[in-house]
Structures are given as C-alpha cells and as structure tokens.
Structure 1
Amino acid sequence: MYYEAISQCTQSLKLVEGWLNKTVAFAEAKNVDVDSILNGRLAPDMKPLIYQVQSACDYVKAGAAWLSGQRPPEHEDNEKTVEELRARIRKTVDFAQSVPQEQYQGAAGRKVSLSWAPGKVLGGKDYLLQMTIPNVYFHIAMVYAILRNSGVDVGKRDFLGAVNFVDA
C-alpha cells in the first residue's frame, strides 16, 4: 500500500510539470507575464503557486523518505522560474522513484515526528493517510486552481492523467 500510494502521488506531481508547460505556452500566446501566474493566488492570505508546487514536492519526498526509513532530502525553497520549478519536481520524482518497494516494509510501524507538533508522532499509516496524501493533493489542486483562475487551459483530464483501463 505505501509504495503504491507514494507512486500515485508521484505520478500526480509529474502532471504538474505538464501544466507548467501549458502555462508557458499560454503566457506566450496571450502576452502575459508568466511570473504573474507563478506568483498568483486565489485569496490574499493564500500562498502563491510557487509555494504550492514546493509544498506538493515536500510532501511527496517526505512521505517517500519517512515511510521507507530515511530522512527526506533537503531542497531550498528558492525557485522563482518555471524551469526552477520543473527542476524541483524532477528532483522530487527522482528521489521518490529511487525508493524500492521493499524499503517500505515496516512502514506502518514507523513513527513520524512533525515539526509543528513537538513531542507528538504519527504512526506510518496515519502519516500516509492523514498527512501525505491529503497534503499532496491539496497543494496540487491549488496549483490547478490558480492556473485555471489565470486562464491556463488545464482541465480534469490534465488533473487525472492517464487512466489504466482493462478489458471488460
């Protein structure tokens, strides 16, 4: 379950890179400053798109690391351009995909500390289900919403990605 869940989160994160490609094409076609989109937000108290991508990456790499018995790699939050965001996504994906399925054995019994809850821990299953999955999809959905709000042509198929149908 852990390997598959992290793999699905990773696949969803990879879709964001495609959205960034659409963002660049949109900005060029409409003569819009791409930086205004990257710094876009839906509400004044909301973090901008750049932060949403960084956070989605952070939750994917942290989930892969903590649940496989590792420390997450550190990535500086200094991205400012589309290419830097693409690089952040690729580093995250490369790390998550480097963790073999066998390394997730024992994930349910692992304890994960949270920086914002000193002295408290979550078991591996609760960390996956209550922190990793909801936060990955929250931040990816915010990227999607900011792009839609900015006029970028992304739709539900872009959000879902490939669907693996089987014969009926």
Structure 2
Amino acid sequence: MNLFDISIPHMSRTLGQVPVWLDKAQATADLRKFDIGVLLTARLTPDQWHFTRQVQAMVLGPLRLANVLRGQAPPDNFDIEPTVAALRANVAQAREKLDALRGEEFAGAEARVIPLPFLPGKGLQAGDFVQQFSLPNFYFHAVTAYSILRHNGVDVGKPDFLAPLAFRDL
C-alpha cells in the first residue's frame, strides 16, 4: 500500500461527514431556536480553535499532504467564513480535488523528505510525515470539530463520524 492509499482517500471520506454534522447542527439550532453561528464559532476551551477553524484544518490538511507528497508547493492558507454555506462549499471543493487524484501521481513520494514549516531546518521522511504527523493531525481536528458539536448538544454519534461502512455478508 502506498502513501496515497493510506491517507488521501480516508481523509476525503472523513471530510465527507462534515455535511452530515452541519445538517445536525442546523437541526439543533432550529429546534432550540438559536443562531447556527453559535455552534460554528464554539470552542471546547478558550485556547483552542473554534469549530469553523477546525474544519478549515480538516480541509487544508489533505490538500497540503497531496501537494507535498507530489513535490508541489502546499496550498496557501485561507480562512473560511463561519457560515454553513461557506463550510459546505470548502469541504465540497476539497473533496472534489482529492477524489480526482490517483495513486500513480504519488510515485516516488516515499523518497521525499517533507520540510516542517513550524520547525525550520527540520523535516520528516514522507512515510513518517504521513503516519506520525499528517494523519494524526487531521484526525485531531476532525475529532475536535465533532466534539465541539457533541459538547454543545448536537445529536451526533459514532456513525456520523465513521461514515457508512462497507458491510459484507458472511
């Protein structure tokens, strides 16, 4: 299994659950009669990013990973407006880009050393970067976004995080 197979499809699949979370967040806001913006800017703790910023990290993470594994410059940072429409649009655009990628585009990625912008002069071998940083970081932000909603009373459960499973008859 190559670095593409163990990362990009899985990240895209999890990104695909964000609209489900947003549907449930909107339903909660409507039922309890408050502005959805309250949830989109909610945090678990004062020093942690809010929901929208967590989703932004989920969007940027796999796009950056795809680029650096292919030897391209990572995409620039961008801010997502804290609206349901903006979140949906950014997630959809990211998934479209990710789902268009093919494993062949990542040939030779294992040999790359990925520089760490937050540690100038340091880098990780591509496999280590994927397994030790990129995947854990992506799922950290996914779990945190999910947890912000759950903490605020949105009826999300484990199936909403995992996505539909490919069950087989035994």
TM-score greater than 0.5 by the shorter chain: yes
Query: What amino acid is the match of 2:32?
Result: K
* 2:28 match: 26
| Greater helix content | 1
Matched, 1:121 2:123: yes
Look up the SS of the partner of 1:3 in the other structure. Answer: coil
Query: What amino acid is the match of 2:88?
Result: R
Q: Deviations over 1:58-98 (max 9, x none)?
A: 11111111112322333521422111111111121122122
Provide the C-alpha distance between the structure 2 equivalents of 1:32 and 1:147, rounded to a whole number of angstroms: 14
* Residues 69, 103 of structure 1: 8 Å contact kept: no
Report the TM-score, using the length of structure 1 for normalisation: 0.94
Provide the C-alpha distance between the structure 1 equivalents of 2:151 and 2:118, rounded to a whole number of angstroms: 31
**Partner of residue 94 from structure 2, selected from 89, 92, 110:** 92
Give structure 2 stretches of 5+ with no counterpart.
none
Alignment of 1:134-153 (within 5 A): 134-153=136-155
Look up the SS of the partner of 1:164 in the other structure. Answer: coil
* 2:3 match: 2
* 1:159 match: 161
Look up the SS of the partner of 2:16 in the other structure. Answer: helix
Provide the C-alpha distance between the structure 1 equivalents of 2:109 and 2:167, rounded to a whole number of angstroms: 29
Provide the C-alpha distance between the structure 2 equivalents of 1:79 and 1:112, rounded to a whole number of angstroms: 30
Query: What amino acid is the match of 2:11?
Result: C
Look up the SS of the partner of 2:17 in the other structure. Answer: helix
> Aligned residues: percent identity?
36
Provide the C-alpha distance between the structure 2 equivalents of 1:65 and 1:159, rounded to a whole number of angstroms: 26
Look up the SS of the partner of 2:44 in the other structure. Answer: coil
The root-mean-square deviation of aligned C-alpha atoms, in Å, is 1.3
Provide the C-alpha distance between the structure 1 equivalents of 2:100 and 2:76, rounded to a whole number of angstroms: 16
* Residues 68, 99 of structure 1: 8 Å contact kept: no
Runs (4 or more) in structure 1 with deviation over 6 Å come to: none
* Residues 113, 121 of structure 1: 8 Å contact kept: yes
Query: What amino acid is the match of 1:3?
Result: F
* 2:42 match: 40
Provide the C-alpha distance between the structure 2 equivalents of 1:144 and 1:122, rounded to a whole number of angstroms: 29
Query: What amino acid is the match of 1:109?
Result: A
Query: What amino acid is the match of 1:50?
Result: T
* Residues 39, 49 of structure 1: 8 Å contact kept: yes
**Partner of residue 70 from structure 1, selected from 69, 72, 76:** 72
